[in-house]
Structures are given as structure tokens and as C-alpha cells.
């Protein structure tokens, strides 16, 4: 028992510590499409408006450059090039331009679907703006250029939005389909045996529903916020996986035997306690990290300031508080029942 408890504590400690080992930079972009590229002493993000460009439309290419600590960069010169991967030629060139701050944008029309490489060159030297840099075969090479060059690979597609939306529908529908199957299966069993769901069983289904709902909310937040900051997106994804995983784990118990007898409860108590402990510790950790994120700046918030309190965050935390309360109630109920029959 103690070994399993230590493993659970280790998992959540790892969940908390991973973000601290990643670069402490953040994006200033609402439409960020990159987790960030670190090169030399610069950390750069790229974003697009609209977020998923399609062929033939004017696209704003937005850059955000900071140092490795997430601080703004001032008084730099930049050069932007775009290369078509299929033709292996440069199709856009913006010469050296003085930037007062590292957040700037440029516009371009991608004529065809396909893969493109965007090269951002950064320099603190006084480059001659009229000096045209010839195209390069090695795009990341800084030969004969006292600069830092960053390479971004992007894909332009007419169907990307449809593919992404379909994927999100599958991700949302699939867990609830499994949940619905479990409910229907249990209902049929009860109907055939002319039994009703006990309060204990109803609360167990509530626990599973709250876990799924909390995980799906974190997953939806991950979709929009992951590009803003690598470690922030990783945290949201791990939180979603943990909560959905807990729901699936709980579902496996209900599918094996949804009506636990007193004798079976004696042998299943230890197993159930470990699963309850996993959900209880996980929810408590997520609540604590959220409180930390709305009070302190990174690494747990996507920007260089405390996280904003929004509706999704409030709903997710309300679900987690309800989950903690329900788990505590069920654990207390099972302990009393177990002690009564010793």
C-alpha cells in the first residue's frame, strides 16, 4: 500500500516539477502558432492572423522576440524571408528593419497549399537596410551575417480547419460515448434484475462524470493556450490526461462490477482506496497550482504576469472541488462500512 502511495506522490511531483526545467519565456501573441524557438540568447514565437492561414488570403505574420528570461527585447534589427519547400526558392524578402521592440508583424499571401519555411534573422548591429541578402541553400546558416537566424516550418492547407474541428469533436465525443455506454450497460443490468441505483452507486458515477468533465475542460483550454508557452501547454495536457485517465480507471471498476456486495467490498477496499487517492491528490494539486497561477507569474501562467481568472478556469475548479468533496464522502462511507463488518 505504501509503495503505491509513494508512486502516486511521485507522479504528481513530476507533474509539478517538469515546467520548472523548461525555458522561462512566454509569447505575447493571441494567435500564436509556435511553441517558441530558442537560438543563441533569443527566444522567438511566431503567430498568424487568422490563426490557420489558407491559400490566397492575406495573412499577418506576427513575431514576438524575448530573451531567455521572458523579457522584452528592444532596439534590434530584423530580416524576414519565406521559402517554398516544394520549389526550394525564396518567395518573400523583407530587408533589415529597425524594430523598437521585439513584437512586430508583416503581411504575406500564401498562393498555394504546402509547406513553407519562414526565416527570421535578428541582429543588434547596424545593418544597411538597402543591402539585399541573397537566398541561402542552408536556411539556418548565418555565414557572412553577424546575426541569429531562426527557422519556422509551417503548413498551409484549405482543409486544416475542418480537420482540426473534426478531431476536437472526436476527442470530446469519445469519452462521453464510453461514459454513456457504461451508464446504459448498468441501467440494463439493473432493469433486468429489477434493482435501482443506490446512492453509493450514483455518487460513484458522479465522480466519473466530474473527472471526465474536468479533463475535457483542461483539454479545450490546452487547444487555445498551448502555443502561448511550452510548459504551460504541457501542464494543461498532463492535467487533462490525468483527469480523463482517472475517469477511465474508475469506469473500469464500474464495468467489472457495478453492484459491489459487502463481501466483495472487503477485498476491493484497498484497490478502491488507491484509485480514490489518485483522484483526490490530483484534484488537490490542480487546485493548488491554479491558486498559485492566479497569484504569481510563470511558470504556471502563459504570460509574464499572473493568470487571468476566466469562466473556463472557474468551471474547472468548481468541478475539481466537487470531485474532492465527493471522493472524501465516498471514502468515508466505505471506511465506515468496512469497519462495521470487521
239-283 per-position pLDDT tens digit: 888 888 888 887 777 666 545 555 565 667 777 788 888 888 888
Which residues are CB-contacts of 236 (< 8 A; sequence separation ≥ 6)? 218, 219, 221, 222, 225, 226
Whether 309 and 171 map to the same domain: the answer is yes
How many angstroms separate the CA atoms of 129 and 124, rounded? 13
Three-state secondary-structure class, residue 65: strand
List, as one string, the DSSP characters of 83-95: EETTTTEEEEEEE
Same domain, 192 and 325: yes
List, for residues 170-187, the tens digit of each pLDDT value: 766 776 677 677 667 766
Which range of residues forms the domain containing residue 143?
37-156
Residues 95 and 132 in one domain: yes
Pairwise CA distance, residues 78 & 102, whole Å: 9
- Whether pTM > 0.85 for this model: the answer is no
Q: Give the Å distances, CA to CA, from 124 to 100, 103, 173.
A: 11, 15, 51
From the CA atom positions of the chain, what is the Rg in Å?
26
Say if 29 falls within a structural domain: no
Task: Decide which of 156, 185, 213 is a domain's last residue.
Answer: 156
**3-53 pLDDT per residue, tens:** 444 544 444 454 444 444 444 444 455 444 555 677 878 888 888 888 778
Picking from 109, 135, 156, the residue at the C-terminal end of a domain is 156
Alpha-helical regions (H) of 18-140: none
Residues 264 and 334 in one domain: yes
Amino acid at each position: 500500500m505504501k509503495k503505491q502511495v509513494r508512486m502516486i506522490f511521485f507522479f504528481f511531483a513530476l507533474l509539478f516539477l517538469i515546467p520548472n526545467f523548461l525555458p522561462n519565456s512566454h509569447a505575447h501573441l493571441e494567435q500564436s502558432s509556435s511553441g517558441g524557438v530558442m537560438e543563441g540568447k533569443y527566444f522567438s514565437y511566431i503567430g498568424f492572423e487568422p490563426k490557420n492561414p489558407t491559400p490566397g488570403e492575406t495573412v499577418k505574420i506576427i513575431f514576438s522576440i524575448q530573451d531567455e528570461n521572458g523579457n522584452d527585447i528592444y532596439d534590434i534589427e530584423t530580416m524576414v524571408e519565406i521559402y517554398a519547400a516544394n520549389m526550394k526558392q525564396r518567395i518573400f524578402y523583407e530587408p533589415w528593419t529597425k524594430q523598437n521592440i521585439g513584437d512586430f508583424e508583416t503581411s504575406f499571401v500564401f498562393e498555394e497549399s504546402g509547406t513553407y519555411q519562414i526565416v527570421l534573422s535578428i541582429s543588434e548591429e547596424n545593418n544597411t537596410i538597402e543591402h539585399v541578402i541573397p537566398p541561402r541553400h542552408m536556411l539556418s546558416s548565418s555565414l557572412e551575417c553577424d546575426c541569429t537566424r531562426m527557422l519556422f516550418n509551417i503548413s498551409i492547407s484549405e482543409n486544416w480547419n475542418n480537420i482540426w474541428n473534426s478531431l476536437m469533436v472526436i476527442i470530446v465525443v469519445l469519452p462521453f460515448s464510453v461514459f454513456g455506454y457504461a451508464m446504459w450497460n448498468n441501467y440494463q443490468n439493473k432493469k433486468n434484475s429489477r434493482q435501482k441505483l443506490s446512492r453509493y452507486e450514483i455518487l460513484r458515477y458522479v465522480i466519473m462524470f466530474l473527472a471526465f468533465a474536468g479533463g475535457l475542460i483542461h483539454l479545450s483550454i490546452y487547444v487555445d493556450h498551448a502555443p502561448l508557452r511550452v510548459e504551460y501547454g504541457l501542464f494543461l495536457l498532463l492535467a487533462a490526461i490525468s483527469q480523463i485517465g482517472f475517469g477511465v480507471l474508475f469506469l473500469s471498476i464500474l464495468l467489472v462490477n457495478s453492484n459491489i456486495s459487502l463481501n466483495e467490498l472487503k477485498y476491493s477496499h484497498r484497490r478502491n482506496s488507491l484509485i480514490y487517492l489518485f483522484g483526490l491528490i490530483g484534484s488537490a494539486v490542480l487546485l493548488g497550482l491554479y491558486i498559485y497561477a492566479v497569484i504569481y507569474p510563470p511558470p504556471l501562467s502563459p504570460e509574464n504576469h499572473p493568470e487571468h481568472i476566466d469562466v473556463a478556469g472557474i468551471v474547472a475548479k468548481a468541478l475539481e472541488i466537487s470531485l474532492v468533496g465527493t471522493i472524501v464522502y465516498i471514502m468515508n462511507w466505505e471506511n465506515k462500512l468496512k469497519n462495521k463488518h470487521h
